[in-house]
């Protein structure tokens, strides 16, 4: 196969699309503007950079994201391959050493005989045989071209949590545990009593944030909301959110704390931890002042402060098919968070589908449309289903068709839903393999 194709953007979605196309014999030119130009949130020249968290969420296949990851493994995902090679302990979650993870994918793609890397910014939409996977941080120039062609796009804003050193955590106060003692005790927990919580809360909601000069029409996605924005919904909001104490016992008291902050490993060595759920837009000195009020973090050493950045996504139901193809185009596909799928794994999964379907279109085959009982199939359907109030969507059991029978036990219900979806996906893919069309 000597047909040349283009992939724009070497994030998770673009990396997957390039991988799928190259492994099908296509000559791929992968365009990445780093290190010539960086977005406001990206710092590393490596591909598949993890900007927000180092967690790919639950590893349990009976969970929504765990189910999605299992589907991706069956589809030869480079994201899943890299994650297994660079995994760090995180209880029931799949977390990775972010630098090693990105390096693994970068080297795999750069060493692939069918992939050529071009370090340059693309500022126009190609006419054919292209996957556009420029992400929620699409450059201003390309975003302007997209907006000029398709009209006003939608946008929301995302935030990243701070990272601190392990040695600066006071372990006479903090303790290792996972909620309800599930899995290994990989999280560090900082417990609060009511007085400590109320002091912290008052300082958090009154702390100074970065001026949002260009963010006047701020719309924050619920799944990655700045902690101070959540806190301003009411004094109990964070205690029922990222600071919920359920499933934890403070060893000092033998009781459940009034509130708790969890810290998760950033690397295998356990030298760095991020503050779970504490995505923030507070000014850096304010982060140091307020977050140091968390018991155990009085002397916390911040290796990275939280930042807020722009995310842009298309009104995909009006523009895209469930194959991720741009309607009425000649082989132009979009993939990743720019399509309105939300999350690392979801973005990567969309890149798999876009890459496979571009390959199929060039070969004259019908698009691969996976069963909506599968998580990938359900997400693909979601971005193409008419919706006047379209908003980003991550993997969740609510987007899957219900079971024919009602099962009250949620854990059992999710297990059966996952098994059904995985079986349907395997059957659909195996049928394509038998025809030699995958």
User: Residue 150 in contact with residue 353, Cβ under 8 Å?
Assistant: no
239: CATH: 2.40.30.260
* Residues 38 and 70 occupy one common structural domain: yes
* Residues 43 and 79 occupy one common structural domain: yes
* Residues 226 and 342 occupy one common structural domain: no
* Element at 334 (helix H, strand E): strand 330-334
66: CATH: 3.50.50.60
* Residues 105 and 35 occupy one common structural domain: yes
* Residues 233 and 331 occupy one common structural domain: no
* Residues 296 and 359 occupy one common structural domain: no
* Residues 82 and 183 occupy one common structural domain: no
Query: Could you tell me the residue range of the domain that residue 272 belongs to?
Result: 163-306
pLDDT band per the 50, 70, 90 thresholds, residue 353: very high
What pTM does this model have?
Answer: 0.79
Distance CA 142, CA 138 (A): 7
Cβ count near 66 (within 10 Å):
23
> Which residue among 283, 306, 329 closes a domain?
306
Give the count of alpha carbons within 13 A of 379, CB side only. 35
Distance CA 309, CA 11 (A): 16
The arithmetic mean of pLDDT across residues 100-124, rounded, is: 97
Domain count along the chain: 2
> Which residue among 306, 324, 343 closes a domain?
306
The arithmetic mean of pLDDT across residues 189-207, rounded, is: 98
pLDDT for the residue numbered 398: 85
* Residues 301 and 414 occupy one common structural domain: no
* Residues 22 and 148 occupy one common structural domain: yes
pLDDT over 90 (residue 192): yes
> Which residue among 282, 306, 330 closes a domain?
306
* Residues 86 and 207 occupy one common structural domain: no
* Residues 381 and 296 occupy one common structural domain: no
* Residues 216 and 181 occupy one common structural domain: yes
**Average per-residue pLDDT for the chain:** 91
């Amino acid at each position: 196969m000597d047909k040349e194709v283009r992939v724009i953007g070497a994030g998770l979605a673009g990396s997957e699309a390039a991988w799928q196309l190259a492994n099908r014999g296509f000559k791929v030119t992968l365009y990445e503007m780093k290190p010539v130009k960086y977005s406001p949130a990206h710092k590393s020249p490596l591909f598949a950079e993890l900007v927000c968290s180092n967690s790919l969420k639950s590893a349990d296949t009976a969970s929504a994201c765990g189910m999605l990851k299992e589907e991706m493994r069956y589809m030869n995902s480079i994201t899943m391959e890299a994650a297994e090679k660079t995994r760090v302990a995180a209880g029931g979650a799949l977390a990775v050493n972010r630098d090693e993870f990105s390096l693994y994918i970068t080297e795999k793609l750069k060493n692939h005989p069918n992939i050529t890397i071009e370090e340059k910014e693309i500022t126009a939409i190609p006419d054919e045989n292209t996957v556009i996977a420029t992400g929620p941080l699409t450059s201003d120039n390309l975003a302007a071209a997209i907006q000029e062609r398709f009209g006003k796009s939608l946008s929301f804003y995302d935030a990243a949590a701070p990272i601190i050193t392990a040695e600066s955590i006071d372990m006479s106060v903090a303790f290792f545990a996972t909620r309800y003692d599930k899995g290994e005790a990989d999280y560090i927990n900082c417990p609060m009593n009511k007085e400590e919580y109320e002091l912290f809360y008052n300082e958090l909601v009154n702390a100074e944030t970065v001026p949002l000069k260009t963010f006047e029409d701020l719309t924050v996605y619920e799944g990655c909301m700045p902690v101070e924005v959540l806190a301003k919904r009411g004094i109990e909001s964070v205690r029922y959110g990222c600071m919920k104490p359920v499933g934890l016992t403070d060893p000092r008291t033998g009781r459940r704390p009034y509130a708790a902050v969890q810290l998760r490993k950033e690397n295998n060595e356990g030298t760095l931890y991020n503050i779970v759920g504490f995505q923030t837009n507070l000014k850096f000195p304010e982060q140091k002042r307020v977050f140091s009020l968390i018991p155990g973090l009085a002397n916390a050493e911040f290796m990275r402060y939280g930042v807020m950045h722009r995310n842009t996504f298309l009104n995909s139901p009006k523009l895209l098919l469930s194959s991720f193809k741009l309607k009425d185009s000649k082989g132009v596909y979009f993939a990743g968070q720019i399509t309105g799928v939300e999350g690392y794994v979801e973005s990567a999964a969309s890149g798999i589908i876009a890459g496979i379907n571009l390959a199929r279109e060039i070969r004259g085959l019908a698009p691969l449309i996976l069963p909506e009982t599968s998580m990938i199939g359900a997400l693909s359907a979601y971005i193409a289903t008419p919706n006047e109030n379209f908003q980003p969507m991550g993997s969740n059991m609510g987007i899957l068709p219900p079971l024919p029978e009602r099962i009250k036990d949620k854990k059992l219900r999710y297990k059966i839903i996952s098994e059904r979806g995985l079986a349907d996906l395997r059957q659909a893919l195996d049928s394509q393999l038998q025809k030699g069309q995958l």
